[in-house]
Chains A and B, each alone.
Chain A
Amino acid sequence: MFFQAFEAWIDGTSLSLLIKSVAWIIPVVQSVHILAIAVVMASTLLVNLGLTGVLQSPGPEISTAAGRYLGRVWVSLVILAVSGLLLIIGEPQRTLPNPVFWTKMILLAIVIAMTLVTSRQAVRGASMSLPPALLKGFAWISIILWVAIICCGRWIAYSSAA
């Protein structure tokens, strides 16, 4: 109810009409969204598994490796934001009134905040300011959060009123 006027306005924009009228736009944008998720998931998984000790860190290379992995994550998050925005504009009723969508956004905000903390740690390497146990905990929680975000993403389609 809260979003109805906003959704109606979005629906009427020329961008929204374009997205809705060309059949391949949404599938392609969703595919781009999924491919960007693949970059984020693989990169964060490798850095986090390295922090938890499950994967062996390649010694002093870990700092530069983590730095480059995380660089890709930030770029991919921009791609995810843009593609996500296009999907929202194309189908506002599917996302804006949907509590699963907002859950996904909140989890995303949390994991991004955690990534900012752990990335400084992973990149700085030896100069640990966080206790190792806390860092490991953050890494495991991050992995779980990313999985939860992906599940929320898929569930948007099944929980929307549209």
Chain B
Amino acid sequence: MNIHDILKSIENLPLAVAIRENDVLFPWIESVHVVALVIVVGVISLVDLRLIGFRSHHRSVRRLTRELLPLAWGAFLIAVTTGSLLFASDAVAYSGKLPFLIKMALLLAAGANMAFFHLVTYRRVDSWDETLDTPLGARVAGAVSLCLWVAIVVFGRWIGFVDA
């Protein structure tokens, strides 16, 4: 069972076949994907800007994240679900497209950055939440996250311009 066989069998799943052969399913799933991803990127950017140090109207990182991160997570799950459906409909072709592979790598990096931030830097948030002195770790996490998500959007769009 090599990778190509696995991808082929994904493509042959009934749902994947249905999406591929139907005229409107792919565009609609893609539209939901776009709605979800713009919510993810937009909401995460607000948190990132606060972490970097732009506290325009959110002094507290804790309060900001408490309200916004569930929203971002919900949208992210929808983005992953729709993305998986889109991928399944043409798994072999997408796997061969460099922008797609880079986008997946960037998503992993964004996830790792978020995990590191939550497990390490955020632990001590009480000491710096309301002060002007955001620790370097938090600023870096915010900046890295912002750059990664912009890149994810760019490479995601690029997928559509690369032929298999």
Of A34, A45, A147, the residue contacting B153 (CB under 8 A) is: A34
Number of residues from B at the complex interface, CB < 8 A: 28
Task: Check if A41 sits within 8 Å of B67, measured CB to CB.
Answer: no
Chain A residues lying within 8 Å of B57, measured Cβ to Cβ, are: 61, 64-65, 68
Interface bits A119-162 vs B (CB < 8 Å: 1, else 0): 00000000000000000000000000001001101110110000
For residue A56, CB closer than 8 A to chain B, the reply is yes
Number of chain A residues whose Cβ lies closer than 8 Å to a Cβ of chain B? 32
Q: C-beta contact mask, A1-37 vs B, less than 8 Å → 1, else 0?
A: 0000000000000000000000100111011001101
Is A151 touching B158 in the complex (CB atoms < 8 A)?
A: no
Contact residues in A for B45 (Cβ distance below 8 Å): 38-39, 42
Contact (Cβ within 8 A) A147 B67: no
Contact yes or no, A38 B42, CB < 8 A: yes
Q: Contact at B39–A42, with CB atoms within 8 Å?
A: yes
CB distance from B58 to the nearest CB of A (A): 8
What separation, in Å, do the CA atoms of A30 and B41 have in the docked complex? 15
Residues of B within 8 A of A (CB): 27-28, 30-31, 34-35, 37-39, 41-43, 45-46, 56-58, 63, 67-68, 71, 150, 153-154, 157-158, 160-161
